Each structure stands twice: as structure tokens, then as C-alpha cells.
Amino acid sequence: MAILEVICLQKTYHTEAEDLTVLRELNLNLEQGTAAVICGESGSGKSTLLNLVGGLDRPTSGRILFQGQDIGAGGEEELARYRSRCLGFIFQFHYLLKDFTALENVMMPALIADLPRQKARVRAEELLERVGLSSRRNHYPVELSGGERQRVAVSRALMNDPLLILADEPTGNLDEANARQVKEILFRLVSDYGKSMILVSHDLELASCGDRHYVLEHGRLAP
């Protein structure tokens, strides 16, 4: 069963100098509970694709169906609910709030969604334990290493129990050892919690970690 269908997607940016088409007639079918890794060179459109699937931008043409529903059919409020309830985002930079502890950063999406604070705390503590950071839960981002910050970001992405994880170069800012650890944790958690995931990266070694592997070139996906 497909959780996500991308159909004939096109994205063109209009400038005074020229029209730049980044994605052209792109198709993707993601089955529920699977992880797809999309590799491609810098500027190939990987982040553009994630922004469109994530409802952060709108396509020039084509459709994106999530559980059979066209995410572009509604307005901004519907897109905001889609992002909040259905998606978990992980970026190359962790984007942790510097004035909040690791635990509070992980709790934040649930608190914004009005989950009772105690329930949010219990789930956040469970997630931090799963990524090996229980002893660091009361530390602020500045007190954490780069790898630890990204593991907090992974936990935060899973906080609201999303169906689909979107990961944009999640190991791109890390050294080799931390990148390997974050990669292993991310794929394990996605599998253990039964999530679907699209991960984009220029790192070809990540391709072997996914259930599906694609290369994005010339605006289209090739297996």
C-alpha cells in the first residue's frame, strides 16, 4: 500500500533572466513502512523535492498524494496540519532551540500540538533513551557534540509519531564516526517504529541502507 505517490511533478523557478526547471515529470511511489534513499549531486533538486513533499513549497504542476489525498488541494491551514500531524523533518543542521534543554527541544512539537506536558515528557525521555542520550537530557545544545545534537533532532522528528520522515542530508555536517552512528540510529528507529522515510543525500554509501534507492538527475528519478 502506497503512503505517498508523486505524479508527474514539475517545479520551475521563474527569474528575470530565465525559467529554471529543477524537477520535470518526476514520479515516486513510496510504500508504507519503507525507506527510500535519493542520491544526487548538489543542485540536482533533492531539497526541492523534499520541500514539495513536505508542503513547504508548491509544485508548478503535478500532484502529491499522501494516503490518497492530494496535499495541494487545500489551503495553508490544511498544509500546516499535514506537516504537524503526518511528517517529521530532519535537516542537515539540527535547528535546536539554544535556550532549551535536549529534553525540552524533543518535547516541543508535542507541546505545540497541545499534548499534556507529562505525556510529552514521558515520550521525549523514551526517545532520548533510544538514541543513548538519557544522561544528556538536561544539557543545552551548546553543551552537546554535533552528533549528539543531531540525535536529539532525530528524536524530535519522531516526537509526534509521524507517518513519514523527511530527512535532508541528516549526516552532512558530521564527521565519519558520528555520521555512521546517526545513520544507524535513524534507520533503526524508522524500522522499529514502523515509519516510512525519504532520505536525500549526496553520499552514495547511504544508498545501501534504504529499501529503495534512486538517483535524481536531469530532474527525474532513476532506480
pLDDT digits 0-9 by tens, 85-106:
899 999 988 999 999 999 999 9
Q: What's the pLDDT at 45?
A: 92
Residues 6 or more apart in contact with residue 34 via CB below 8 angstroms = 196, 197, 210, 211, 212
Q: What's the pLDDT at 206?
A: 74
What does the alpha-carbon distance between residue 33 and residue 31 come to, in Å, rounded to a whole number? Answer: 6
pLDDT digits 0-9 by tens, 48-57:
999 999 999 9
pLDDT digits 0-9 by tens, 59-90:
999 999 999 999 988 888 899 889 988 999 99
pLDDT digits 0-9 by tens, 181-223:
988 999 999 899 999 999 998 877 777 788 999 999 999 999 8
Average pLDDT over residues 106-113: 94
C-alpha angle 130-170-137 in degrees, rounded to nearest 5:
35
Q: What's the pLDDT at 162?
A: 95
Report the predicted TM-score, pTM, of the whole model to 2 decimal places.
0.92
Question: CA nearest 34: which of 159, 219, 193, 212?
Answer: 212
Confidence of residue 109 (pLDDT cuts 50, 70, 90): very high
CB neighbourhood size of 20 (10 A): 10
C-alpha 103 chain-centroid distance? 20
CB 38 within 8 A of CB 200: yes
Q: Which CATH superfamily is domain 2-222 in?
A: P-loop containing nucleotide triphosphate hydrolases (3.40.50.300)
Q: What's the pLDDT at 213?
A: 92
For 126, the grid coordinates are: 523514551
Q: What's the pLDDT at 205?
A: 74
Amino acid at 25: E
DSSP state of 52: H
Residue where the block lists cell 555512521: 180
